């Protein structure tokens, strides 16, 4: 398997708080990798460093064979590396189709692009992805009128519009009704298998991540504590201790 993402020795501190210390992780093309760890262990900080949201203090990040350590969010997004958020970032005053139409790289939001005619293939792709996430019947509803779980599905479809090589998902099932979680897991798997999207997933729900990931990393106090097969990581005494110690 070829390496898609290689994070080597990355550190990041905020005014003396060491959020990440010497973190190294690797994600191979085609994998679904999980990132777990107690609250405040540095998971979101690592995502932010990878996507270029803030500069790192040390270490390097390579994506698809290219050094991206000092690139910023739009440049990294154009290379095919995107993220979703714990709190969704949909355009609440636009309907679902419009949210997807403006999510293609070609439509990188200029105000003018909202008023010109959207090419038919873009609309067809938007409709197909809304169908994929089960929101077809809501396509003309304002995104702000969707439930929180539906907004997360919409945000997932928005990310898929750009056909990312790697998608970082920050707690995809948080706030989603337990009965809908299995459907979401199924869609994440299908996006991986059918669309070829490699996934790196932060998830607090152990059942979900054990079900979804083929490999796990566990962060604790900003450092990688364990790495390996999901079951082995879950049973690792250091991981259990880190979780218990956090409560
Ligand atoms: N912008 C910031 N300014 C100051 N401190 C920050 C900032 N972002 C994160 N931190 C601190 O860095 C540490 C790691 O936070 P981070 O959000 O990365 O953890 P997390 O594992 O994603 O947590 P959670 O599971 O609760 O979302 C915490 O101590 C947090 O308070």
Find the mean pLDDT for residues 182-207: 94
DSSP states along 119-163: PHHHHHHHHHHHHHTT-GGGTTSBGGGS-HHHHHHHHHHHHHHT-
pLDDT digits (tens, 9 = 90+) for 152-165: 899 999 999 989 99
Find the mean pLDDT for residues 44-58: 97
Task: Evaluate whether 139 touches 127 at the Cβ level (below 8 Å).
Answer: yes
Query: Does residue 16 have its Cβ closer than 6 Å to ligand 1?
Result: no
pLDDT at residue number 120: 73
What's this model's pTM, rounded to 2 decimal places? 0.91
* Ligand 1 probe mutation, 14, 25, 174, 221, most atoms within 8 A of CB: 14
pLDDT digits (tens, 9 = 90+) for 215-225: 999 999 999 99
Q: Which residues, 6 or more positions from 116, have their beta carbon under 8 angstroms from its beta carbon?
A: none
Query: Does residue 44 have its Cβ closer than 6 Å to ligand 1?
Result: yes
- Distance CA(96)–CA(11), nearest Å, equals 38
Which domains can be identified in the chain, with CATH numbers?
A: 3-245 (3.40.50.300)
The phi and psi torsions of 55 (rounded to 5 degrees) equal -70, 150
Q: Which residues, 6 or more positions from 112, have their beta carbon under 8 angstroms from its beta carbon?
A: none
Mean of per-residue pLDDT scores for the chain:
91
Query: Does residue 80 have its Cβ closer than 6 Å to ligand 1?
Result: no
**Residue 180 Cα, ligand 1 centroid: separation in angstroms?**
28
Share of the chain above pLDDT 70, in %: 93
pLDDT digits (tens, 9 = 90+) for 69-97: 999 999 999 999 999 877 778 899 999 99
**Residue 155 Cα, ligand 1 centroid: separation in angstroms?**
23
**Smallest CA separation from ligand 1 atom 27, residue:** 39
What Rg value do the Cα atoms of the chain yield, rounded? Answer: 18
Query: Does residue 37 have its Cβ closer than 6 Å to ligand 1?
Result: yes
pLDDT band at 113 (very low <50, low <70, confident <90, very high): low
- Calculate the alpha carbon distances from 64 to 5, 23, 39 in Å: 6, 19, 30
- Distance CA(48)–CA(94), nearest Å, equals 27
Task: Evaluate whether 8 touches 59 at the Cβ level (below 8 Å).
Answer: yes
pLDDT at residue number 107: 46
**Residue 66 Cα, ligand 1 centroid: separation in angstroms?**
27
- Can you name the residues that pair with 100 across neighbouring β-strands? none
pLDDT band at 109 (very low <50, low <70, confident <90, very high): very low
């Amino acid at each position: 398997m070829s390496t898609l993402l290689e994070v080597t020795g990355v550190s990041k501190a905020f005014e003396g708080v060491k959020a990440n210390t010497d973190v190294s992780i690797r994600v191979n093309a085609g994998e679904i990798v999980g990132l777990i760890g107690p609250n405040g262990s540095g998971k979101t900080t690592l995502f932010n460093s990878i996507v270029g949201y803030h500069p790192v203090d040390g270490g390097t990040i390579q994506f698809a064979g290219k050094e991206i350590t000092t690139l910023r969010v739009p440049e990294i997004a154009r290379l095919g590396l995107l993220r979703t958020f714990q709190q969704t970032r949909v355009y609440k005053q636009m309907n679902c189709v419009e949210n997807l139409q403006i999510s293609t790289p070609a439509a990188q939001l200029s105000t003018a692009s909202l008023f010109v005619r959207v090419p038919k293939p873009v609309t067809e792709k938007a409709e197909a992805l809304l169908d994929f996430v089960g929101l077809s019947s809501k396509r003309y509803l304002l995104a702000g009128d969707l439930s929180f779980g539906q907004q997360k599905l919409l945000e997932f479809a928005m990310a898929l519009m750009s056909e990312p090589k790697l998608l970082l998902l920050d707690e995809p099932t948080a706030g989603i009704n337990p009965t809908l979680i299995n459907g979401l897991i199924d869609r994440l798997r299908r996006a991986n298998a059918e669309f070829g999207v490699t996934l790196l997933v932060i998830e607090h729900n152990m059942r979900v991540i054990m079900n979804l990931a083929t490999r796990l990393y566990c962060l604790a106090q900003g450092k990688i504590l364990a790495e390996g097969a999901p079951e082995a990581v879950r049973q690792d005494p250091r991981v259990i201790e880190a979780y218990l110690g956090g409560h």
